[in-house]
Amino acid sequence: MNTKRLSESMEKALSDQMNKEIHAAHVFLSYGIWADDRGYQGIAKFLFRHAQEERNHSIKFMEYVLNRGGKPKVEAIPAPPEDPESLSACFDGVFRHEVDNTTAIYSIVDKSMEEKDWATWNFLQWFVKEQVEEETLAQDLIDKLKIAGGDRATDESLFTLDKALEQAPDEAPLAQDATADNP
């Protein structure tokens, strides 16, 4: 008896997203290696933690497809992009990568609505929320560097930024949780 509860094309879309999340981990790993090599060990740690989050995302897609009777397929992972030329290029790259991932998730959400696959729609809502957090975190990186002086920041302000990112929280607060006392 066929117990698969996903369409063939939905199984493929979710499996592709599992691979895309592993690719995101590769991208952030490579950016982290670049940052560490440049002496920014705090920024590197932030990026390494983020790479681990992407691996976690990949596992969620894997587990969901398996739970729904499908079988995800691990594909070859494309090489990460070239090393960034500056910290601002690195942070811009992180932001662009998150937006690209959000677009991919939205397209599977669209597909789940077309198919009336409400279980998958529901599963994906976690990722819709997660992407808001991740885009916010990436925007914060860009803002913090801008305040530090951008690509013309002094060594001293970059030292402070690097230290701050070493221990920066990995979750950005959601607007839904804001209150008048704690905006």
Which sign does the torsion angle of CA 79, 95, 16, 130 carry?
A: positive
Token duo for residue 115: 């198919």
Number of shown-chain residues binding ligand FEO (CB under 6 A): 7
From the list 18, 34, 35, 57, which residue makes contact with ligand FEO (rule: CB under 6 A)? 57
Percent helix / strand / coil, the chain, rounded to 5: 75, 0, 25
Please tell me whether residue 101 binds ligand FEO under the rule CB under 6 A.
yes
Please tell me whether residue 11 binds ligand FEO under the rule CB under 6 A.
no
Token duo for residue 145: 């560097």
SS3 40: coil
From the list 13, 24, 124, 145, which residue makes contact with ligand FEO (rule: CB under 6 A)? 24
Q: Are the C-beta atoms of 123 and 64 separated by less than 8 Å?
A: yes
Q: Are the C-beta atoms of 33 and 47 separated by less than 8 Å?
A: no
Please tell me whether residue 23 binds ligand FEO under the rule CB under 6 A.
no
Please tell me whether residue 54 binds ligand FEO under the rule CB under 6 A.
yes
The least CB distance from residue 1 to ligand FEO, in Å, is: 34
From the list 6, 11, 19, 21, which residue makes contact with ligand FEO (rule: CB under 6 A)? 21
Residues that bind ligand FEO (CB under 6 A): 21, 24, 54, 57, 98, 101, 134
